[in-house]
Structure 1
């Protein structure tokens, strides 16, 4: 009776031979996606290590023969191909790190040995459920997005016919959970700023004027931390969002030379008093740096550290739910109450879609006027 043919992407019995003291060979036959079985072998100082090296090589043997993505490609290899593809098209370091964390912390350890063809909804759904239970909805959403991108790459390369992630349940926010940070009530801004200026730690970290800038500009914390004096036009009274600060694994904080989204790249008209603030900071710091909001040691400011500094002080400031995002919501609230449209406020905040501004940052919208003038009037005497 004829021996059954090996399946595509499988291998036969592993044979080992001690060629000489301290040199072992492990060998087997592997059936490639073209249907042909070929011999694969690895060498190592011991029998166990030779077998282990061979098994590891078999996981990527087809990629080693040309890099073509196939149904037998492991998700471990697919994940790396996905990250490489995103890097090649110039995705931001922050985005790459977000995808990379999903791969290294969750996908590879739990799904890495599955092949593309084996990545079925019935295997992926329990994985996402477990991630959500153990690490939260945010981590599960990140994994779902990364898996979707990986499997889309497999579809484009003909390894599978359709993306299995599309059949998975959406990950929703837990009921009753508050959505985002709350704005500072406009009537309490004077009290808030007085407390912030009197806080010894915020003064030591040189965070007070950064808070004042975000309260008048509506900039994201990463945008404000990256502001360079070359992006400020004192004659016109504007500052341009041209970069953001991000922390990159193995490199520390870097100034990424493009903002979060295409819409984020904007020129913001600023109140006269805010321009005075920027001028004072430049005059004080120009001997050491062109950055407007560096750390006290004149280095790039880490947005995450800045968020932590504010979290550490928010209870004492009287706002337990305060975050850097509260400042953007405060700006949106001010502009909304003064009659700016959703489109005008979205432009000022750098949102891709006015509906995002309307849904998340405000309640009713009406009318139109100039954002910088409104912010200047509302913050008169405060900044």
Structure 2
């Protein structure tokens, strides 16, 4: 019985064929098994402006491209490894370490743009000047935000090269900072008066009622949660007797997998239990008595009973915020508002960090003081802030 073609190993290519296209231009092609295990046909032509008598130049182009497609393991990183291959190794490592899917998708997008500026450069050629030039070009072409993302990726990737002994030092450390002409202002914090007026406006808004924004926005005001944390809250996370809610996960969109609820937070401090103001407990009690959509047990599902998309939730808020009298706010504004109220009340930064799930307050506090406590003072403060709503 005749045997079939032997399978390719990951990172291995098959026989290279050359095809004469005429006028000194050749096409070189082969089968190649990529890092995802899929075998693809890869091809390259003679470089423009060069005459290729027998197709050798086209084959050289193909081999160089195949080398950049291979993702080396960390112990295979050498001065000849391309930046593109090294970046893929670094991103794979981040995935293995459990970095958020959304972050990985963002980094992969930035890495794709970076490859056009620096991907063919080899580790041994990655001087500070060359890296700085590439980052500046990224900023000019794609904006400072993506340039900073590319710089972060390069710092981590070239750090692997240092660990492997392929570089003596990381050239990214000598690259100058990327500054925006107009630094982002960030989310605007609402005042106590604005929060009280907003709670009244929410109750009067037909759009908010029709799109189930009243209760979730009220809970954002009451807790300062991230919207991904809010939409991941389950009824099982609420303790009516203690008057608390436990943040035990978040809703994320994974590329190719859609929305999912993951049992993790942005930081380790993000998994926390916080007391709820009385007005928030009243909202949850009323909502619990209403018909529930779906069987996921989340408090704020979509109209179909599935997980609610944080991005769509943000779009709905942006559509109605002007009508509610809080122009230029985002769902993150409520988080910043809670932090501002905590500060104005004279509560310590530690109280704010524990309540909001921030990792760092200061080096001393992080290393020598206990963390992840519950602070009833925050719930009492928020109750006082909105007390006038029902008067």
- Contact 1:62 1:73 (C-alpha < 8 Å) held by counterparts: no
- Confirm or deny that 1:151 pairs with 2:184: no
Q: 2:105 aligns with which of 97, 101, 106?
A: 97
- Tell me by how many angstroms 1:164 deviates: 0.7
Shift in CA distance, 80/178, structure 1 to aligned 2, threshold 3 Å: closer
TM-score normalised to the size of structure 2?
0.77
Structure 1 runs of 4+ with >6 Å offset? 15-18, 24-27, 42-49
Taking the aligned partners of 2:44 and 2:120, their CA distance within structure 1 comes to 26
Alignment of 1:1-383 (within 5 A): 53-59=62-68, 63=72, 68-104=76-112, 106-174=113-181, 177=183, 179-286=185-292, 288-289=294-295, 290-354=297-361, 370-380=377-387, 382=389
Task: Determine the C-alpha separation between the residues in 2 that align with 1:94 and 1:125.
Answer: 27
Shift of 1:150: 0.6
Aligned to 2:48: none
Report if aligned partners of 1:93, 1:256 keep a CA contact under 8 Å in 2.
no
In structure 1, C-alpha distance between the alignment counterparts of 2:89 and 2:355, rounded to whole Å = 38
Inter-CA distance 51–268: structure 2 relative to 1 (3 Å threshold): same
Evaluate the alpha carbon distance shift between residue 281 and residue 108 of structure 1 in structure 2; reply closer, same or farther with a 3 A threshold.
Answer: farther
Quickly say closer, same or farther: Cα 1:328–1:287, change in 2 above 3 A: closer
Counterparts of 1:43 and 1:310 in 2: how far apart (Å)?
Answer: 46
> Does the C-alpha gap of structure 1 residues 283 and 111 become closer, same or farther in structure 2, counting only changes over 3 Å?
farther
Which whole-Å CA distance do the structure 2 matches of 1:210 and 1:52 have between them? 56
Identify which range, 247-256 or 155-164, moves more after superposition.
247-256
> TM-score, length-normalised on structure 1?
0.78
Tell me if the contact between 2:294 and 2:301 (Cα under 8 Å) persists in the aligned partners. Answer: no
Distance (Å, rounded) in 2 between the aligned partners of 1:285 and 1:323: 29
More divergent stretch after superposition (42-51 vs 289-298): 42-51
- Separation in 1, partners of 2:91, 2:158: 12
CA-based RMSD: 3.1
What's 2:7 paired with? none
Contact 2:293/2:303, CA 8 A, preserved across alignment? no
CA contact (8 A) 1:92 1:256 kept: no
The alpha carbon displacement at 1:381 in A equals 5.3
Question: SS where residue 172 of structure 1 aligns?
Answer: coil
Distance in 2 separating the partners of 1:332 and 1:278 = 23
Say whether the 8 Å CA contact 1:340–1:369 is kept in structure 2. Answer: no
Q: Distance in 1 between matches of 2:272 and 2:263?
A: 14
CA distance in 1, matches of 2:156, 2:80: 18
Larger deviation, residues 139-148 vs 49-58:
49-58
Asked if the contact 2:162–2:168 (Cα under 8 Å) also holds between the matched residues in 1, the reply is: yes
CA distance in 1, matches of 2:44, 2:99: 42
The 3 A distance-change label for structure 1 pair 187 and 57 is: closer
Q: Which runs of 5+ in 2 are unaligned?
A: 1-15, 20-26, 31-40, 46-53, 364-374
TM-superposed CA distance for 1:190, in Å, is 2.7
Shift of residue 50, structure 1, vs aligned partner? 5.7
